[in-house]
Amino acid sequence: MNMRHKFKQLVKYRSIFFLTLPGILLILTFQYVPLVMGLVLPFKDVNYKVGIWRSPSVGLENFKFLFSSDAAWRITRNTVCLNFLFIVTVLICSVICALFLYQVSKRSVKVYQTVLFFPYFISWVVASYVILALLDMENGLLNSILQFFGRDAILWYNEPKYWPVIMVIANLWKNIGYYTIIYYTGLLGISEEYYEASEVDGATKLQQIRYITLPLLKPVIITLLLLQLSKIFYGNFDMFYNLTMNSAALYPTTDVIDTYVYRSLKVMGDLGMSSAAGLYQSLVGFGIVITVNAIIRRVDNENALF
Amino acid sequence: MNGKVRKKLWGFLPHLVLILVSVACLLPLVLVISASFTTDAEIAKYGYSFIPKEFTIEAYEYILKKPAQLINSYGVTILVTLSGTVIGLLITAMLAYGMSRRDYPFARATTLFVYMTLLFSAGLVPWYMMVSNVLSLKDTLLALIVPYLVVPWFVMLMKGYFADIPSSIIEAGKIDGASELRIFFQIVVPMAKPGLATVGLFIMFMYWNDYYLSLMFIQNSKKLSLQFMLYRMMSNIDFLKSALAAQAGMLSGVQIPAKSIRMAMCVLAAGPMLLVFPFFQKYLVKGITIGSVKE
């Protein structure tokens, strides 16, 4: 197809093209153009008067600064480790819930599903109210309970060591319903015949799960797992920012790349540093997506992203 | 006999576990609701608890006596959610439709164009500069709508629904001499209603629950969405106190049951939508299962 031919086709199908145009322009504006800007910004000492392109270049200064600080290691470790914990805990718990859900009647399924799904629709802002009621230094429920048993109250918002656990539980609470539904749907796709045949052979429930359900559910699990792994370099800003109330004392265990970039930009106004951290995230994140996709292709070609 | 008991236990075990998980999902919310009906003195003395010792609607009275802030925020959120959902859904559907048309020579290229964005992310800083410096949307309601109008993942989801429409129907429309616009709006859109409902709901929830765009771009207190108002109140209880005091024409420093009011605000701001959501659940579940496990 040469350009002329393409142009002719564009004219012929102009109605469809115009239908897609607003969407294309929006994606161009909010995805592609920022991408190009993001490749340039970290290397510039941005001067708004002359614009980004004409601002003086600073070479790798911003990156040197970023990686010589403790922050780079801290935010990388927190992002990857916490995300990994989230993925594993949600996987285990939601598969178990889905297995139990499969054992009960269709009518009960609806009720449980609604309830488990509920927290998914609560914003992280509202979730931070829940966390406050639980962890408030003076009036939180957990401290009341501790004191009831004669223990000392804990200043939760000052103690970073508890937060990985708190985050894991909060994430589980919010997402368990979503993933349970996905795995439950996967279970529904397994043919009844397998179970009937195994019952004839005298298999117990546990044996059925071990030798029929889990192997047949494996493709769904692996696909979802890899999809989540591909996003492991991106922290959930809403969650980390709101639940911790942006408490500086908690940064050692809860500061992720996304919160760091935000703070550098909006609080400290350090455009160079924040865009450098942002580009670092984009590049590594992109590398991870490519790697994970290559793995998916090997394991299960049909579910590859591209 | 022993075997029968065991079997019964096995039959009940799933319910037991699921009930426990369900309770764990809901209890934390009960804590917030209960606190909104508790006096501040009681919270200060005994802490937050699941059942108030002394039931009071004082906090709600406080808010509803001078509900200006709440009504204003509802207005902002409803306006943003409605316009964002309608416009966003329309643009998403139009884009997805072009991608799904097998006879459209640029369908593949367009799909690739959308799909690529799922693989990389430009990051916050250039995106922020785009909205605030290039487009100058800071402190406007447009800043709360425009950046989320097209979400690539929703476009892909929508495309899946359009792909199910047999191309013979579109062909028939063409033979009858219908224009492309007519085919889209009068044939395709009505047929894709379930898909539009699902994607529309996702878009709606995204706008309704969003505070991120406000956090980034809004400073004007007249343009606080519900979620952002809740965020401000959480991060700064003095903001709540001063807002209430100013509204009530009181001097700040007067005793205001801020702790329970904060929780009551949370219930009033987030509650109604949460009660609505179970009715739409059917569509959402469909969207989730289709979107996650690609066929």
The ipTM (two decimal places) reads 0.86
Shared domain for B74 and B35, answered yes or no, is: no
Per-residue model confidence as pLDDT tens for chain A (306 residues): 578 888 888 888 888 899 999 999 999 999 999 998 888 888 887 777 777 777 777 878 888 888 888 888 889 899 999 999 999 999 999 999 998 898 888 888 888 888 888 888 888 988 888 888 888 887 888 888 888 888 888 888 888 889 999 999 999 999 998 899 889 988 888 888 888 888 888 888 888 888 888 888 888 888 788 888 888 888 888 899 888 888 888 888 888 888 888 988 888 888 888 888 888 888 898 898 888 888 877 776 665 655
Shared domain for B11 and B123, answered yes or no, is: no
Q: How many CB pairs under 8 A join A and B?
A: 268
Shared domain for B40 and B72, answered yes or no, is: no
Whether residue A240 contacts residue A292, with contact meaning beta carbons closer than 8 Å, is answered with: no
Residue A54 forms part of a structural domain: no
What's the number of domains chain A is made of? 1
The residue type of A185 is: T
What's the number of domains chain B is made of? 2
Shared domain for B132 and B222, answered yes or no, is: yes
Residues in chain A: 306
CATH of the domain at A118: 1.10.3720.10
Per the listing, tokens 């939601």 go with A94
Q: Do A205 and B147 touch (CB under 8 A)?
A: no
Q: Do B48 and A139 touch (CB under 8 A)?
A: yes
Residue B171 forms part of a structural domain: yes
Shared domain for B147 and B220, answered yes or no, is: yes
Residue A242 forms part of a structural domain: yes
Shared domain for B36 and B90, answered yes or no, is: no
C-alpha–C-alpha distance, residues A262 and A182, integer Å:
32
Q: Do B98 and A20 touch (CB under 8 A)?
A: yes
To test the contact with chain B by mutation, choose from A16, A89, A146, A282 the residue with the greatest count of B C-beta atoms within 10 A, namely: A16
To test the contact with chain B by mutation, choose from A2, A5, A18, A27 the residue with the greatest count of B C-beta atoms within 10 A, namely: A27
Contact list in A for residue B177 (CB cut-off 8 A) is none
Q: What are the pLDDT digits (tens) for B133-191?
A: 889 898 899 999 999 999 998 999 899 888 888 888 888 888 888 888 889 998 899 98
Residue A37 forms part of a structural domain: no
Domain span at residue A164 reads 83-253
Residue B156 forms part of a structural domain: yes
- Shortest alpha-carbon distance between residue B65 and chain A (Å): 23
Q: What are the pLDDT digits (tens) for B230-245?
A: 888 877 766 666 666 5
Residue B74 forms part of a structural domain: yes
- Taken in order B217, B219, B222, B228, the sign of the CA dihedral is positive
Domain span at residue B16 reads 2-46
The residue type of A151 is: R
Shared domain for B23 and B75, answered yes or no, is: no
Q: Do B48 and A242 touch (CB under 8 A)?
A: no
Residue B267 forms part of a structural domain: no
CATH of the domain at B178: 1.10.3720.10
C-alpha–C-alpha distance, residues A221 and A296, integer Å:
12
Shared domain for B101 and B222, answered yes or no, is: yes
Contact list in B for residue A9 (CB cut-off 8 A) is 105-106
Shared domain for B107 and B166, answered yes or no, is: yes
Residue B275 forms part of a structural domain: no
- Shortest alpha-carbon distance between residue A26 and chain B (Å): 7
Shared domain for B40 and B73, answered yes or no, is: no
Q: Among A67-71, B79-83, B215-219, B255-259, whose mean pLDDT is lowest?
A: B255-259
Residue B286 forms part of a structural domain: no
